[in-house]
Amino acid sequence: MIFPFAKEREQFPILNEMTQLSSCSQSAISIPVKEAMNEYMDSWSREGMDWMGWMERVERAKASFASLINASPDEIAVLSSVSECTSSVASALTYSKGRHKICTTEIDFPCIGHVWLAQQERGGEVQFIPGEDHKVPLEYYEKYVDEQTVVTSIPHVSYYNGFKQDIKKIASIVHRKGSYCFVDAYQSAGSVQIDVKDMDIDFLAAGSQKYLLGIPGIAFLYVKKEVANELKPMVTGWFGRVNPFAFDIKLLDYADGARRFETGTPPMINAYAADAAIQTLLKVGVDHIETYLQKLSQTAIAHAKERGLIVASPENMEEKASNTAIFTGEASIYERKMKERGFIVSARNDVIRIAPHFYNTENEVIVAIDTLAELVRDGK
């Protein structure tokens, strides 16, 4: 396979030192991200304080994320984590008699389940939609979501095995039943195309550290324009106000659009990093990235099987994103052993996740799998 991103790869010099295949957890650092973070440090060192300049960069990061998912910037709130985004949305919903059910899935990242379970104190009743072999069959949404469901909260892509759901079809089912559709896109944003309008998503959350090529500490929350102004989050702060700089302690007014979901001072240096990182993705094009990663996925699955490894990811490319999960048992031991050999991969319970981004070559995936196969054969 011809490697299409040789020039772009030069922006990630760490790849000359090691093979980083951990985008499901932390992507590789790039020169533009490092420079953007230095820009914040320089501004702080030079000017002492540049509140307006720093806030402008937060707005720029919002606009960049908005373009990535086909939203408008006023439909994006900046928060610190996906957990916080989900809590903010959960706190804005009411769980009344007749509409009190929260449907979420067993394949979600645990923090999503925790946030919804916390709503039980406020009258919410959580229904976990079961996973079958770490996948949720589409018909389960027909079965479990009903006319009492307030919100259906689903992952776009599973953190465990890269299983990818058909969001458009799920959103259509849950909307028919009168439920909101909340999507955790932390494992897809930056590597799988997302069009919130076409998919008809009400809420979508994604952090910056994984396929978005940034750092932890910042997350984006999309709230559909028509939905935002109906809601008043109880998780709030001065940045959720109409004018945060009015300093009126007795006035709880809610800003227009998604900004009402913001809380305190935004993570500024993180926004510098996130904006630079998303700009890289926009230049390369998520459509190209997705197509390329599907080819790497095919290679990863075929090669892992050839080497006698047991694959935990779906084999059908229609329902799989970048992450190829391989059963190893006690995966953290293999993560460490792989690191000692120069491969950064990510462990979750009993699987090692090989999660390339566009800057990885096919050969890197093959050699990483060869190395893992040797370690598994030798019994750690």
Contact call for residue 83 and ligand PLP (CB under 6 A): yes
Contact call for residue 222 and ligand PLP (CB under 6 A): no
| Whole-number CA gyration radius for the chain | 21
Please, what is the minimum distance in Å from the beta carbon of residue 347 to ligand PLP? Answer: 12
Other CB atoms closer than 10 Å to residue 126's CB: what's the count?
A: 15
Contact call for residue 155 and ligand PLP (CB under 6 A): yes
Tokens of 27: 């992507």
Q: What is the DSSP letter of 12?
A: -
Tokens of 265: 């001072």
- The correct pick among 184, 262, 275, 335 for binding ligand PLP (CB under 6 A) is 184
Q: Tell me, rounded to whole angstroms, the distance of Cα 349 from its chain centroid.
A: 20
Contact call for residue 105 and ligand PLP (CB under 6 A): no
- The correct pick among 37, 68, 82, 102 for binding ligand PLP (CB under 6 A) is 82
Torsion region of 162: left, alpha or beta (phi above 0 gives left; psi -120 to 50 gives alpha):
left
Amino acid at 304: A
Contact call for residue 118 and ligand PLP (CB under 6 A): no
Please, what is the minimum distance in Å from the beta carbon of residue 229 to ligand PLP? Answer: 26
Please, what is the minimum distance in Å from the beta carbon of residue 21 to ligand PLP? Answer: 16
Q: Which residue, 82 or 276, has its beta carbon nearer to ligand PLP? A: 82
Residue 171 belongs to what H/E stretch? helix 167-176
Contact 111, 86 (CB under 8 A): yes
Contact call for residue 81 and ligand PLP (CB under 6 A): yes
Q: Specify the stretch interacting with ligand PLP by CB under 6 A; choose among 90-98, 182-190, 290-298, 369-377.
A: 182-190
Contact call for residue 219 and ligand PLP (CB under 6 A): yes
Q: Which residue, 184 or 362, has its beta carbon nearer to ligand PLP? A: 184
User: CA-to-CA distance for 271 and 80, rounded, in angstroms?
Assistant: 10
Please, what is the minimum distance in Å from the beta carbon of residue 269 to ligand PLP? Answer: 17
H runs (alpha helix) in 215-316? 225-228, 268-284, 286-306
Closest by CA position to 56, among listed 219, 283, 275 = 275
Task: Using CB under 6 A, list all residues that contact ligand PLP.
Answer: 81-83, 109, 111, 155, 159, 184, 186-187, 207, 219
